[in-house]
Each structure stands twice: as structure tokens, then as C-alpha cells.
Structure 1
């Protein structure tokens, strides 16, 4: 059904409002399930490690912001290619789309290998740089070192998922990411408990599940995808314009991820002196919150595909409307998830840890964060709209302003007097500021310059 709607979009046929809403839901629902499944995997890791004690949880929490940074930078390395694939498919230039995909694989994987090497080299020093306490430094080092080793497979997952979603196929990545959750349970049980590897076992288990699923995703993409499967006689041709355009799109995304992730690292440094309980509660709180904002990222994936193909097809009549409809859906879903976070926070924390002190502090900070979810949803989905349009620099600048001029200074000022709740109040305020900035950008329509120019 979703392919029929996308085909109408590419062919310039009329899509009524009801058709547009159905198309958004058909694309967003599998992506939402995929995002939720990845969050469930984080819950699995956190709950299994949480059973080992507060120190084990804190050791993962200490380096988690850095793992996001590396993952985000990897993602930025392929975004410029997946967006161009969506544009080419929207213009019905399928052979060009396949060549862009191949270039993305070669360059994206090479980029991930370099990052993996850097991660391995800094892994022993990283926990010390982050001001980890002596009892958690060693496990934090083991966890990050294994994460860095498996980073190329995480990148393969990003590339294959991004290309399939650009073509409009949300179902296969969703199903395989659900499989990754099941594999994560199996591998974690084996490595954490059967082999008694503890924190390092959690990282190995996650890495192995990513390895298996990334290879399955690549196999489907190369041999089964309707539009992007490999064709005999179509050789890889590196195109300077494609690479330059990928850098124009990807570098701001990389800057965005670096700015955001480095702010998370600074955030971790602010939290670290508050003690092991605060570090663990902060880590579990972030994991618990991620379940609530995953619907927003699912809608974001749909927005990237829809806006990318609309611009490729030169559908000026649909592009802005699809942008506003996807944003409204994201805000609505995350308003509901904010309500769930506020009232369900005790249950969410009990699932992650048996420690009463961590649970009490975690519930307190999650209820503060619940008030930021609607505007956070707006920023997430509008970022997808802008990404699909190739307007990624504005997202980076808005994140830079909100993270470094609002969140970090305010968190540093409040931490000494109010502890972790003060730090999370700063986060909630910043997310509301960010949402307002992104909505302003959406409604001004300057992101549609590429469509107007064509």
C-alpha cells in the first residue's frame, strides 16, 4: 500500500489529505516499531547489567554519551548519500540511485573503520577524562573498547537501513531490528552470565546482534530490494558531484551530532561529581526516556523519505503539507509519551534496577523531563523534514545554540545547589527552546529553497 502512494507521489498524481495521512502512518508505524525495538535493546542491556549492581550500571553510564557521539558521527557519514538516494528515486532515476548507494557504502564503511581505530586507541584513557571514579573506570574501558571494535557493523546497519528507508521500505528494517532485540537477549545471557563477562559481556552481546542483523540487512538490500538491488552490468562509478553534495549534507549533520554528543559528554562531566547513585540514575533515566522519544524518531524517518522523494519529484504542492502533517503527528505522539513518562516512571525505573535510591532519583528526574516531550517531538521531526530537503546546516546551528547556550551553562549552574534534578530541569528547558526554534524554521519555509530553485 505504501509503495502505491509513493508511486503516485513520484508520478505527479493527486494525493488527497486522507491519502497523505495514510501514507505517513504506513511509513511511520514500522519505523516507530523499529525505534522502539532498539530502545528495548537498551532496556535489556541496562536491566541485565543493573542486576550486577550500581557500579556496573555507572560504568556504562559514564561512557554512554561518547558511544552516542561515535554512533552519531558514523550516521552523519552516510546521511548525505541516503538523502540523495531519496531525491533520485523521487525523480525516478533508479540507476543513479543505485550508484549513489554503492558510493555511500564504500565511503561510509571506510569512515567507520577509521572511527573504530580511534575509539580503540582512546578507550583506556576515556573513563579517566570523564572523571570516572576508580571503581568504575576498568569496566567502562572494557565496555567502550568492545563497542569501538563492533562500530563498522553498526555503520553497515545505518547504511542499509537508511537506503531501504529512502526507497520507502520501512518494514524490513523494522522486522530485522526487532530480531536484533531477540538476539541481544540471547547473546547477553550467554556473555554476561554464562561466560561471566559482566559489563564487557553486555557490549559483546550487543555487538554480535548488530553484526548478524547488519549482514541480513545488506543481503536484503543488495538482492531483494525492488529499486536498489544490484543489477548486472552496473558498475560502481565515483561521481565528484555526488560526493560533494553528500559532504554538503553530511558535514552539517556530523557537526550537529558532534555538537549534541559533545554536549552530552559535558553533561556527563557535570553529573559525574554527584556520585555513583547520580551517575546510575542519570544513565537509567536517559534509557527510560529514550522509550518515550522513539516514536518521534520513527516519524522522523518517514519525514526524511517523504520530503526527499517529494523534492526529487518536484512536488511543490505536497512538500510543505507533508512536513507539517508529519510534525503534527510527532508532537501528538510525544505528548502522549510524555504523559506515560510522568505516570509510568516508577514502573520504568523498576524494570531497570532494583536499587531503591536509584529508582527514587530516576522517577524524580523523569517527571521533570515529561514536560519537554511535545517540543522535543517537534524538534526531532522537523529535523527529519530539513534533512530530507538537504537543509542540514540550520539544524546544526539551532542545536548548537540550544545545547551550548542554554543546557550546559544552566546545568552547570544548577548542579551544585539542586543536584541531578537541577541538571535535568536544565535539559527540559533547553528541549522546549529547541522545539520552538525548529518550528519557527519549518513555518518560514526557507528549507524549501532547493524545490523552488528546481
Structure 2
């Protein structure tokens, strides 16, 4: 049966139970999304540091693209949540229809731009020629399905804000199964394996980095297509079909810009900073770039529970705001803050004490493992603040306050991370550790600012 849009404010036996019911599928979904990158990095890492660097050099650019897609998701999904809370189901349907138009238009434009710049992008980012060739091919293949990839980001956000967190979770599990099977086929040469029951041969095309890109593109494209179909097949008051009005709606787009444009500015600001950040790392050499890539991949697990909780917070606070229930909106925000702190303490322990093991999943290069583990331990120190920042950003976006996150991103990336990273890495000669000191300082400041914003109460009336 296709999923149905629901008002989720009273979904659980208590507010905490309600958050957990919405959050756990979103957490699993984020783990599944991240595992796509994990699997690619781990499998490519078996080839060598140069292959790892080729996958990692355009990562910051993909973060920029994903950030823009997320901005569209926020712009339309917050409207969906608030319309459901207010029981305005025609407004909900109109927002979903406009989101489909945005995916078709902006997704196609993104694909075109990425294909035009893909060959030169790694060189612009400072990659050595032997890395840049494979990195450019990887980026072009990966961005060939941007319409479907954008659809995955936008429609997942809409489904979550309409109370369905399980469908995106299940589809992303499917993505990972596909990605592992296809990676095995595309990356490696055919190999013979011996068991007590006999020998067998695993087929392989031996395409290396390009094979990883093809596998990921097929997997990402498939989940995007399935989420688009789910958007049309869902039941209930928010159902859409081809016979409804599909003309552009200026009111919906104005609201989408109000909610989404600050998110886009924030992601562009942060991601442009990330690109400069990556350029700093490339100047430290291939080993440092490989260690940075692997440490970033390992570190990404630390905030997955917080991201899942933040999606639940956006849905709950958005629907509470639509129902004009201020007390409930604040209650959900306080609950997710406490959950974020608990998760942050747990992730500190994981990253600090398990650093070598986490980086060692992806490579056997001892120099890369040692450097990446040291960077991870620096990041571990700010995990409680990072998790608070993430869950509160989701809660406040649900209430319509996305503009503050842009200011936070601007100040912390350009006023804290980049200056501190440059000073520590190149003036005090701490290399990659200095780079990660800048990252940790940025994250700590974001956490402090978001805690202040939420408890000041200014976020709730930000649009009035």
C-alpha cells in the first residue's frame, strides 16, 4: 500500500515517543545514504591512495550540489508540514506539484553545468594531473543522474514532513544493496575464490574509480526514480496526479524561496568554503588528501543520528507551527536538544577511541591511517556541540527560521574555519591536524550560536 500523509503531532504515547517514532527510520536512511560513500571509498581504497584521492577531490563540490538540492527540499517540505498541521491539503498538494517542476528544471540545469566543467574541476581544485584525470571522470559519471538525485533529496524531505519516514529508509537500503553488488562487478578484475565447498569466480570489469562512479550513479538514479513514483502513488489528502493543475504557482515559489533561499545561501557559503578547505589540503600532498578523505568519510557517521533526529524535528516543529501550537513546538525542540547531547557524547567516545579502526576500514596504508586517526580525534572533542547544532537547525527550520543558519554558516566558515585552518596548518606548521583544528573551531561555534538562538525564542517568530 502506498504511504499516506498524516498529522504526526500525536503519533506517539508521549512527545519523546513521537520523536523516536519519526527519527529512527530517518536515522537508518542517513546511515544507508552514507554507506554508499563508505562502500565506494572502502572498495576504491583497496586500489591505493591515488584512487582514494581521485574519489575525494571533488567531494566538497558534491556537498555544494547536495546542499542546493537540500535547499529545494526545505523550501517545499516545510510548506507541506505546515499545511498538514493547518489541515490545508490543497496547499499541500500544490507545494508537492511545484516541487516536481523544480526537480525537472534545476536538476537538468545542474547536470548540464557539471558535464561542462567536470574535466577541469579537479585541476581547479589543485589535484595533481595523475589524480585529476580519474577524478574528472568520476565526477562526470556521478553527476549524469542529477535530475533523479535531486528528486531523491526533495521527495525524501517531502515524505518525511508528511509523516512517512519509512519509505525513504527502505529505498535507501535498496540503494546500498545495489551499490555493493554493482561495485563488486564494476571496480575489480575477475577473481577466483577458494572455499571448503569448492572454488568460484567473481565476475568483474576492472574499471576502478570509474566503475565506482557507474555503480553509484545507477544506484542513486534508481532510488530517485522510485521516490518520484512514490510521490504520485501515495494515498490520502496530499495525493497528486497528472490531471491536476501543474502551472507554476507564484505564491508557492515565494514561500519556497523564503524557506529555501537562506538554506541555499548557507550551503553555497559553506560549500565554497569547503572547496577552499580542500584546496588547502591538496597542497599538503596525496597522503594528506587521502587521509583527509578517509577521516571525513569516517567522521560522517558521527552526525547521522543527529541528522535523523533533525528531520523528525523539522516535521514536528513545522506541523506544530502550522497548528499554531507554540508550546508544543518548543517542547519538541528541547527534547531533540537533549537527544543530540546524548548522541554527541556517544560519538565522542566512538571517534576518539576507535579512530584508527574507523580509518583502517578503508585503507591498509599505515601513514594514511595514522594521519587520519589523529584528525578524527581532534573532531571527536566537539561532537556534543555538533550534534546540538544539527538537531536545532532542523527544529528551527521547521518553524520557518532558515535565515539564521545562513548567518551562522557565513560567520563560522569564513570567520572561523578557514582563518584558523590556514594559521594552524601553514603558519604553525601543523599540516592536516591544523586543518582539522579549524574545522573543530567552526563546529563548536555553530553549536554555541544555535543553542543561544533556540533558547532566546527569537526563531519562532522570525517570519512575523
Please indicate, yes or no, whether the TM-score normalized by the shorter chain is above 0.5: yes
Bigger Cα displacement from structure 2, 212-221 vs 182-191:
212-221
Measure how far apart 1:94 and its partner are: 1.5
Partner in structure 2 of residue 295 of structure 1: 305
Structure 2 residue corresponding to 1:305, chosen from 315, 323, 327: 315
Partner in structure 1 of residue 126 of structure 2: 131
Question: 2:48 aligned with 1:38, yes or no?
Answer: no
User: Is contact 1:57-1:280 (8 Å) kept?
Assistant: yes
Partner in structure 2 of residue 244 of structure 1: 254
- What secondary structure, in the 3-state scheme, does the structure 1 residue paired with 2:245 have? coil
Partner in structure 2 of residue 428 of structure 1: 440
TM-score scaled by structure 2? 0.92
- CA distance in 1 between counterparts of 2:244 and 2:84 reads 17
User: Is contact 1:124-1:141 (8 Å) kept?
Assistant: yes
Measure how far apart 1:337 and its partner are: 1.3
Measure how far apart 1:77 and its partner are: 2.5
- What secondary structure, in the 3-state scheme, does the structure 1 residue paired with 2:401 have? coil
Alpha-carbon displacement from aligned partner over 1:182-237 (angstroms, at most 9, x marks no partner): 11101111221222221111111111001111122222221134443325853324
Partner in structure 2 of residue 447 of structure 1: 459
Structure 2 residue corresponding to 1:381, chosen from 391, 414, 435: 391
Alpha-carbon displacement from aligned partner over 1:371-412 (angstroms, at most 9, x marks no partner): 111101111111111211121111010111011101001101
- CA distance in 2 between counterparts of 1:388 and 1:403 reads 23
- What secondary structure, in the 3-state scheme, does the structure 2 residue paired with 1:447 have? coil
- CA distance in 1 between counterparts of 2:337 and 2:403 reads 19
Instruction: Note the 1:22-421 alignment, pairs <5 A.
Output: 22-193=17-188, 194-230=204-240, 234-416=244-426, 417-421=429-433
Alpha-carbon displacement from aligned partner over 1:155-203 (angstroms, at most 9, x marks no partner): 0101210110010111111111111111110111122122222111111
User: Is contact 2:44-2:209 (8 Å) kept?
Assistant: yes
Alpha-carbon displacement from aligned partner over 1:263-284 (angstroms, at most 9, x marks no partner): 1111101111111000000000
User: Is contact 2:178-2:219 (8 Å) kept?
Assistant: yes
User: Is contact 1:40-1:291 (8 Å) kept?
Assistant: no
- Cα distance 1:4–1:136, how it changes in 2: closer, same or farther (>3 A)? closer
- What secondary structure, in the 3-state scheme, does the structure 2 residue paired with 1:168 have? coil
Measure how far apart 1:91 and its partner are: 0.8
CA RMSD, Structure 1 to Structure 2 (Å): 1.9
- Cα distance 1:226–1:345, how it changes in 2: closer, same or farther (>3 A)? farther
- Cα distance 1:69–1:123, how it changes in 2: closer, same or farther (>3 A)? same
- What secondary structure, in the 3-state scheme, does the structure 2 residue paired with 1:230 have? coil
- What secondary structure, in the 3-state scheme, does the structure 1 residue paired with 2:354 have? helix
Instruction: Note the 1:6-25 alignment, pairs <5 A.
Output: 7=7, 9=9, 19-25=14-20
Measure how far apart 1:87 and its partner are: 0.7
Measure how far apart 1:8 and its partner are: 6.9
The structure carrying a bigger helix percent of its residues is 1
- CA distance in 2 between counterparts of 1:83 and 1:190 reads 40
TM-score scaled by structure 1? 0.94
- CA distance in 2 between counterparts of 1:274 and 1:232 reads 54
Alpha-carbon displacement from aligned partner over 1:280-314 (angstroms, at most 9, x marks no partner): 00000000000111111111110110111111111
Partner in structure 2 of residue 438 of structure 1: 450
Measure how far apart 1:317 and its partner are: 2.2
User: Is contact 1:187-1:205 (8 Å) kept?
Assistant: yes
**Which sections of structure 1, spanning at least 5 residues, go unmatched?**
none
Measure how far apart 1:6 and its partner are: 6.4
User: Is contact 1:295-1:334 (8 Å) kept?
Assistant: no
Bigger Cα displacement from structure 2, 175-184 vs 233-242:
233-242
User: Is contact 2:80-2:96 (8 Å) kept?
Assistant: yes
Q: Aligned residue pairs: how many?
A: 445
- CA distance in 1 between counterparts of 2:8 and 2:313 reads 17
User: Is contact 2:69-2:154 (8 Å) kept?
Assistant: no
User: Is contact 1:368-1:424 (8 Å) kept?
Assistant: yes
